[in-house]
Structure 1
């Protein structure tokens, strides 16, 4: 009986799961999500990798899938090498895999998307990402100066997943000069990439010959007035003018609402620099204008699919990253409550205007969340926002209090 189906695309993020199936000959089908008709209905986020297992088991998030597949390996010695032989090794493996999956991958992906023009380019933000990437590489270098692998004395999931995360950057934005500054990381990366476990999926991988750089779009020069043309030439020009012209980039729909009296940047600075309960929140309620901004309870629709809490927090981070085109019109916070394999995502977000869709529909996964408008004149709605932005009280779900374990602020 088949042990499931893994849906992937060509991203290096899928190398680890694909390698486990191939090397250990697991009875798992590998499917290209772009050519699969059943993928989208099964996984609303439409993100790879995704895994469909026995009895309707559905897994998202690369780390969750990798740990599940590794546990299908029948060779106990190999399994112990990959997952750790005791709680200390297991924790170290999860630590390095998580570090690469969240911090390393996020900053590499953010830089890449900006440089390629897939999200608005902000030089200061990209430069900040590169600083963080260098800092993360220094942490890897410090460990790998004295050890062959990052977590244990053997190649583990921590190494394989971390190498896959770095692979995306090394193939795109981290060129030869950057690689020369990190010899220990590169020695480790090449060792992992050449290992029998991942050798097959890494076979076509190539390091970037030159780091990607941002190329601003050229502005068209205004044409000088031309002398009158003969009738025959005018007819030709009229025929050309009938050809469809490229559409101009539309302004964000919320721009049409005009400049509000409530200055959002002032609030963001107040929230960042002052104590939340005693200073920031009183300031907010004093200046908040409900005619200009509305407040929404935002909750994830598929909490039953969430596994580890740090993965849920990564999900929030990805959602916020994809909202970048709207962040100048909104502020809020989503939190993760509960515990591993029993957690959820909820929060409160303030947006310009009175409708939620114009602010949220810039993110491809916005429909994976539900939106309920809050009324600031109601004490319970006001208190919900205070709790979501202060993070100092449990979330009440079906009458049960659940501690906030993580979260992210959209600002």
Structure 2
């Protein structure tokens, strides 16, 4: 029987999968989530931790025998027994099917919809509306499957149920209000049955279902952002004689204490890692001040109609001296396989380029179908140079061909309209790809 320690931060739904599995299997699992056993953002950056878990991500598992695992699904699988994993090859494959379903069909739209309501991600109206539709589609699939079943695989709870419940936990707590979830009675029955099992309850506690759909709170989002250090005030020279040296030293020590940042709040590990990275010099600081205010355009784009409001605002205010517009096309279309993996390729790049958000905007689209697709997009950068080579944020850009567009040309205006609105003829995209679905 497995025995070891799970390193995580409090209320990490990914860690819940392993904890619930351990409750069913009887694995001896210790959870290190608070100081002094484990401090997220500190312990996971130490050489000793990184030697066992090179990515520094949590949850991470270390067995009493020294065996180490990262990635929550692998940990949950290891801590499960045969009944949870699937007693037959067919059942095991079905369990894996639903685990993959949670990762590809539930977690991406759930994150897009829920994270802004928690204040850990900026709100994007179009992305949120698309996420709601994707969640409905996933719920429909589950509802049909559970029409004649109590659980996802077999006649009792398996790792499939544990994984899918945990992936939907924040949906049910934050946004799936009664009117939204009403059409999915089979899913609701199954979810409530699972969370009320003793093995779930001891980990999750009482789960209160959403009564009113949570909305984006701009104030909360601003509070969650890392605070900038205020520049120390210059002291006026005293009129009287200088004070004793030890008092000066004491003042210096006090100022040093004031400049220490407040401890990081617990948040999603990706966002916390970004927030905790040391601030680097602004590579755009040397550029003249621009009349185009990127954040104002992004608010229009996120919250108002794209064609009627956001795009006219963009062209009315665009500063072609201070900003440039670029077209990107993924070089390796022949290597793209499943569309959900290609979508993850795009979102992963965006997440790792979070530092560019104040000085850049992009709309990137996947065209086509499984094993026959292409990726291309429009990017707006501060300055006249491609942003990646002049910064330290050279994320994935070498996998794309880049072409600077003339902002006064009809070609540019058409492409901006099509890519920003996610609709149009897209004549520059290969016909075979353009005839397929547009994945936004």
Deviation at 1:211, TM superposition (A): 1.2
Residue in 2 that maps onto 1:18:
19
| Aligned counterparts, 1:235-250, within 5 A | none
Deviation at 1:105, TM superposition (A): 1.3
Q: 1:259 aligns with which of 323, 333, 352?
A: 323
Residue in 2 that maps onto 1:141:
143
Q: 1:63 aligns with which of 73, 76, 81?
A: 73
Task: Summarize the Cα distance change of 1:191–1:358 in structure 2 as closer, same or farther, 3 Å threshold.
Answer: farther
Q: Deviations over 1:129-175 (max 9, x none)?
A: 00000010000000011111112222110011101111111111212
Deviation at 1:85, TM superposition (A): 1.5
Unaligned runs of 5+ in 1: 71-78, 219-250, 278-308, 334-348, 377-389, 391-409
Task: Summarize the Cα distance change of 1:329–1:104 in structure 2 as closer, same or farther, 3 Å threshold.
Answer: closer
SS in 2 for 1:59: strand
Aligned length: 283
Q: 1:50 aligns with which of 56, 60, 67?
A: 60
Q: TM-score, normalised by structure 2?
A: 0.53
Residue in 1 that maps onto 2:244:
none
SS in 2 for 1:6: strand
Let me know the Cα RMSD of the aligned residues.
Answer: 4.6
Task: Summarize the Cα distance change of 1:30–1:215 in structure 2 as closer, same or farther, 3 Å threshold.
Answer: closer
Task: Summarize the Cα distance change of 1:28–1:85 in structure 2 as closer, same or farther, 3 Å threshold.
Answer: same
| Aligned counterparts, 1:4-403, within 5 A | 4-9=4-9, 10-32=11-33, 35-36=38-39, 38-41=43-46, 42=50, 43=53, 45-53=55-63, 57-70=67-80, 79-215=81-217, 253=284, 258-260=322-324, 263-264=326-327, 267=328, 319-322=348-351, 323=353, 326=357, 328=361, 353=385, 356=388
The separation in 2 between residues aligned to 1:359 and 1:330, in whole angstroms, is: 20
Task: Summarize the Cα distance change of 1:263–1:357 in structure 2 as closer, same or farther, 3 Å threshold.
Answer: closer
Worse overlay, 315-324 or 192-201: 315-324
SS in 2 for 1:52: strand
Q: TM-score, normalised by structure 1?
A: 0.56
- The 8 Å contact of residues 33 and 39 in structure 1, kept in 2 or not, is answered as no
Deviation at 1:203, TM superposition (A): 1.8
The separation in 1 between residues aligned to 2:182 and 2:16, in whole angstroms, is: 24
Task: Summarize the Cα distance change of 1:156–1:357 in structure 2 as closer, same or farther, 3 Å threshold.
Answer: farther
The separation in 1 between residues aligned to 2:160 and 2:139, in whole angstroms, is: 15
Task: Summarize the Cα distance change of 1:214–1:370 in structure 2 as closer, same or farther, 3 Å threshold.
Answer: closer
